[in-house]
Structure formats: C-alpha cells, structure tokens
Structure 1
C-alpha cells in the first residue's frame, strides 16, 4: 500500500517535519518519500559534523539541516564512545550493557567534552512543527522538556524508547509516555522492536540476534483521537497524510477524515474507504 494520500486528495496541506538526531546510516527516514513528492518540508538537527555534511550532500528537496544539539538548554557532558551510535550526553551503564554481545565495546567512552544544548522552542525555524521524529540516545526526555509549546501543537511524534537502560539515569519508555500524554498525545503503536540474546548464549554466531529480551523500539504517538472533533480540518488532514503515507494506519485516517467531513460537509471519508480498500494487503 505505497500509494500516497495526495494521489487521492490534491488539496492536502504540506507537513512540517522536525527530525532531532537526523544522522543517516544508509536507510531512508520513514518520511523520505513525502519529501521527494514535495508533500513535506524537513528541519533536521545533527550535531556530528561528518553526519551533517553527509545529510546536506544528499540534496533531498525541501530539507534544511542544522548543527544544534537539542535538549533542555543546559550544558551537558558529551560521552564520545567507540561506536558513534552510542555517543550520548548520558554515561553508558555497563552494568546492563555487559549482558549483551557487542555493547560493552561499542559503549566504551573514549573521550568527553562539554556540549551546549538548545531548546527546540527557542528555534524560530521549528515553528509550526507538525511531525517530530527523535532519536538522540537517551536525550529524548530533555528534548521534550525544551519543547513544551511545540509539543502542544504537534500532531505526530515518533520517538526512540528504551525498556532497559543503556545509560545511567536514562529515562525509559514509561517516563517518555507520561510526558507525551501530558502534552495531549496518546500512544499508537511500537515499530522496529529490537531484542538481543543474553550473553554468553549466541545464536548462529550472530551477536545481533534476539530471543526474549526487548531492549528498545520506536514508539508512535498521535494527538488524542478523542479530541479530533476539536481540531481544525487542516490539522486533521496533515495528521491523515502522515498516518497514511508513513504508518499505514488506515483506520485512524478514516476517523480523522470523518471528522473533517463533519466540519466541512464533504465525503472524504467515503472516498478514502473506496480508494484504500483495494490496496489492502499490497
């Protein structure tokens, strides 16, 4: 079901995306196709200089990248790890990491440096944020604390969440869930659930294989669907575009479009139902 919602409705408003921790590891972001179609614009933040240059060099239309480290506005200590993907403002917690293959070495701290963080609410270019994607190695809660105003207005959030701490004093899924609910979001679902095998067991010599222990995932949050009737049609259409194009949540899209019809007197919901039904299973 890869057909975008804009192929059915040609009057959909553009979505403003903010990506905090936008580094590129070879896989396209979930919103990538929206950018290529001109259905969205992106403001991305990536403080790692080498990654920032890679992002800029890709030349994807509608994108702007900045080097600020997003947080709560405080100055923290950046822990530079053997694997750049483990680098964080939080100190790795070897008590937990030692139980899983690879992580003790990947999280070995090679150096530290002071790092000033910036509040998302203080960055004018982030105004009008509809859709937030964030993955900053345990710093997500601090970033939320620096963006209360923007979160109150946003429609969809995709955030990395941890179920077991990789870092000392790392906020886990429960803390992030509580914060987002305070800003009017409800949990939708988990994507990319990741697990690993407890050491010393090893399955087929694959250190990335998992059996039972869930460690982290990306969690999708949406504006509380019990308040859809209080939202503007433009907001509901933007939400519909993201939830259809990125997450294929067609039942939620149907609900949002039905609320648009109640406000505008159209029949978008029925049009969508007739259009999307043949695509199911594709």
Structure 2
C-alpha cells in the first residue's frame, strides 16, 4: 500500500461521484486513486455512446448509470453536434458568435424530453466524499438539490463559466455563492480555458488563446480554516484527495497536522510526511 495512504489509514475507500462522466477530456483527476484501488466511483452519463465507452473500460470499483441529474423535473436535452456540448440548456448564439469556433459544435441536432433526478434522491449513492461535475451549465441545479448528499463531501471539482455558452446558464459567481453557503471554499484551478475572441486567429490556429477567460475546472474544498466542522474521517479523505488528485501537499499536510493534534495520527506523522515529500517530490 502507498506510504501516505498507510500513514492515514482511512476507514473506507474514498467515495467519488462523477456527474457528466463523458470521457472526452481524458483521464479524470481521481485516476491515480482508482489505480491504487483507494476509491470507488459512481458515475452518471446520459449519452448512450459515452456511457457504453465508460462501461467497456470500467474496473470493478466503478459503476456508471444513465441518469440525467438535475432538479427532478422533466427537461429537454439538447443533443449537440459536439458530444461535449450536449446540455439541458439551449446554446446561446449571442455568445457563441463571438467565439465562432464553437458555433458548429453547438448546433443542436436533436431535442429529447428526459426526466431528471435530484442528487439527493439517487439511492445508488450512500455517501459522498468527492464530487466531480461537468454537465454544461446544469451544475447549479445539482448543488441546490444536493444539500444532503454534499453534507459529507470534502471536495468538489466543478466546471464554471466566465462566458456562459448557454441561455439561462449560471455563471461562476452564482456557483461560488452556492458552494460557499454550503461550507466550501475555492482551492485551485484544475484547468483553465482561455479562448480567442473572434475574428482573431493567431498562427492559423482558431483555438490558440489570448487572454479571454471562457471556462475552468475549479476545485472547492471543505473550509479547512474551520476544522472543527470536519470529523476525523473527513480530514483523512480531504488529505487523500488533496495528495493524490491534485498534488496539493500543503493542504494534505494541514490535515495531517490537525489529525496529529487530535491524537488520531502518531506524533511523528507530520515529520514522516514532510520527509516523504522531500525524498519523493
């Protein structure tokens, strides 16, 4: 077993929920944890082709379901030319035309009425430590209808938009307000997407960015300045996610120190972890 995981000795594997698990963006941030067999994943992906790929490649620690997670009502799913732009929201032509690379990708090929399920009502999820979500504008609805599930969570990676590509889509500010109200604070950017404003094209590459912020994958964590609001297992799970998913060794160390102060870990835990980092990174 990996040194750091052995040092922490969590009671359970990290429970990961992946809403919008379409694998088009490559390996998920919890891939190392899956490889080490220290997490379990429940994922949701309503697009048939993407779901088939996930089920074909999954391990015994992964389970993928076709649910559309939202507010519990029936909505129209806009199936777009690009799988990555399929959404419960209508693409916004006013915004797409100033980033015209996206215009053909956002073309709606089909509109299908689908039922949605509230995050709090998904019985296949018994516990959440870590949520990853990317559902093209629908993230805020999931957070608002997932207060009970998110009570145990210590980390959330969510897509946020600075320029909203869909009509009536919540922007970064609204998501930030909601997650802060639920006890989370921004920690780091897992990815930031800049995009050129049309008609600028550099080096004959319409996707070569300049300064305009478009979207980002932003990681929120349970507010570590208020450790009294986290139990010992939550601190351990936060340390695991920080260390293995994001290489946030400073946050992981803070959790180790807090656990040492609570006499959950040995008095040498901080020293052992620092020495391990100095030797291996």
Structure 1 unaligned runs (5+)?
A: none
Q: Is the 8 A contact 2:24 2:84 kept in 1?
A: no
Q: 1 CA distance for matches of 2:101 and 2:260?
A: 52
TM-score, length-scaled by structure 2: 0.94
Superposed displacement of residue 33, structure 1: 1.7
Moved more, 67-76 or 77-86: 77-86
Question: 1:35, 1:61 within 8 Å by CA — same for their partners in 2?
Answer: no
Q: Does 2:99 align with 1:100?
A: yes
Distance 1:185 1:80 in 2: 32
Cα deviations across residues 146-191 of structure 1 (Å, max 9, x unaligned)?
Answer: 2111112211000000001100111011111111111111111222
What is the 5 A alignment of 1:184-199? 184-199=183-198
Aligned counterpart, 1:142: 141
- Using the alignment, how far apart are the partners of 1:126 and 1:59 within structure 2? 18
- 2-side partners of 1:158 and 1:127: how far apart? 19
1:275 aligns with 2:273: no
Aligned with 2:178: secondary structure?
helix
State the secondary structure of the residue aligned to 2:23.
coil
Which is further off, 238-247 or 100-109? 100-109
TM-score by length of 1: 0.94
1:121-200 → structure 2 map (5 Å cutoff): 121-200=120-199
Distance 2:247 2:228 in 1: 22
Distance 2:25 2:60 in 1: 18
- 2-side partners of 1:4 and 1:216: how far apart? 36
Q: Which residue matches 1:52?
A: 51
How many residues were matched structurally?
Answer: 277
Bigger drift between 201-210 and 126-135 goes to 201-210
Q: What runs of 5+ residues in structure 2 fail to find an aligned partner?
A: none
Alpha-carbon shift at residue 26 of structure 1 (Å): 6.2
After superposing on structure 2, the runs of 4+ consecutive aligned residues of structure 1 that deviate more than 3 Å are none
